[in-house]
A and B are shown apart, each in its own frame.
Chain A
Amino acid sequence: MQGNAQVNPDEVSEGFYSIRGGEFQDAGTCATAIKSALMKLGYSEECARRAAVSAFEAEMNVIIHAVAGTLNYMIDSDEITITVTDMGPGIEDIDRAMTEGFSTAPQWAKEKGWGSGLGLPNIKKNSDSMDIDTRKGEGTTLTVRVKLTTGGKD
């Protein structure tokens, strides 16, 4: 389960998920799958965790704000790219959305402990690049890249 320390550079692994808006109990499904895929391939737990935290927050954004969306990931030899596309309202002001504590989440999300305005800042902190393409009334595509490392602890 913990995988081996050898990473095969030719090995490309990918996954695709659909995310339904409002279905908060599904949150973390993609994140958990990404973490375990990276661990199985022999990448370090630290980079697996960073990728998983980014995926988790991205999933949550779709669940909170959009009707539906998709997440796909592709693991290359030294990088994972996570792309999340949603049919949501779009982000009105990206600068504000990137500010810790700014949230447009509804009450139900806050009652579950989400919607504290930390989602996008968390993704930024846990990734090596983050790109937001958003259109008001149409949706948002978020592309996140995390550099992968092997070894570390263990």
Chain B
Amino acid sequence: MAELTARKVIDSLEATIASGGDLERKVTGCYVSDLLSDVLAKSNEGDLWITQHTHSNIVAVASVKGLAAVVVVGGNVIPEDTLVKARAEGVTLCQSRMSAFEAAGEVYNLLKGGAG
């Protein structure tokens, strides 16, 4: 399987980068959840996280868990205070118009090597 970078996934999700961290970082998995404690409990390092939340706690969660990037779906706009934190922590944040379902399907195919 070809190496999947954060940049490649973000492109496939037609997402715009709101805060760029390490875009060459390898994406090794994906986690979809809007319960932050669930993400703290079960996501793995290197996961791409798909969420509806835009508030600044998503940055701290991503940073603590070592997630590869956070994709805010549903066209939700990320507020400035979240972006400021993301830049300070070097966390990659992007926003996509896709629904969580569509985004997860896309990432699933990429990770399983079924598309792209």
CB <8 Å contact, A24 and B37: no
CB <8 Å contact, A118 and B61: no
**With a CB–CB cut-off of 8 A, which chain B residues contact A125?**
41
**With a CB–CB cut-off of 8 A, which chain A residues contact B60?**
27-29, 31-32, 56
Residue ID in chain A nearest B63 by CB atoms: A32
Residue ID in chain B nearest A121 by CB atoms: B41
**With a CB–CB cut-off of 8 A, which chain A residues contact B40?**
53, 56-57, 118, 122
**With a CB–CB cut-off of 8 A, which chain A residues contact B34?**
113
At the interface, yes or no: A86 with Cβ under 8 Å from chain B? no
Q: Which of B38, B55, B56 contacts A116 (CB 8 A)?
A: B38
CB <8 Å contact, B35 and A31: no
Q: Which of B37, B56, B61 contacts A119 (CB 8 A)?
A: B37
CB <8 Å contact, B64 and A53: yes
CB <8 Å contact, A24 and B57: yes
Residue ID in chain B nearest A59 by CB atoms: B60
Contact residues, A23-64 vs B (CB, 8 A): 24-25, 27-29, 31-32, 35, 45, 49, 52-53, 56-57, 60
CB <8 Å contact, B36 and A114: yes
Interface centre among B36, B55, B65 (most CB of A within 10 A): B36
Interface majority SS (helix, strand, loop, mixed), chain A: helix
CB <8 Å contact, B57 and A112: yes
Contact residues, B30-52 vs A (CB, 8 A): 34-38, 40-41, 45, 51
Question: How many A residues are at the interface, by size bracket?
Answer: 20 to 34
CB <8 Å contact, A113 and B45: no
A116-B35 contact given A24-B57, A56-B40, CB 8 Å threshold: yes
Could you pull out 9 A-B pairs where Cβ atoms are within 8 angstroms?
A25-B57, A27-B60, A28-B57, A29-B60, A53-B41, A53-B65, A56-B40, A112-B36, A118-B37
Known: A27-B57, A27-B60, A45-B45. 16 other contacts (CB 8 A): A24-B55, A28-B59, A32-B60, A35-B64, A53-B41, A56-B40, A56-B60, A60-B37, A112-B55, A112-B57, A113-B51, A113-B57, A116-B36, A116-B37, A118-B38, A122-B37
Interface, chain B (partner A; CB < 8 A): 34-38, 40-41, 45, 51, 53, 55-57, 59-61, 63-66, 81, 89
Interface, chain A (partner B; CB < 8 A): 24-25, 27-29, 31-32, 35, 45, 49, 52-53, 56-57, 60, 112-114, 116, 118-119, 122, 125
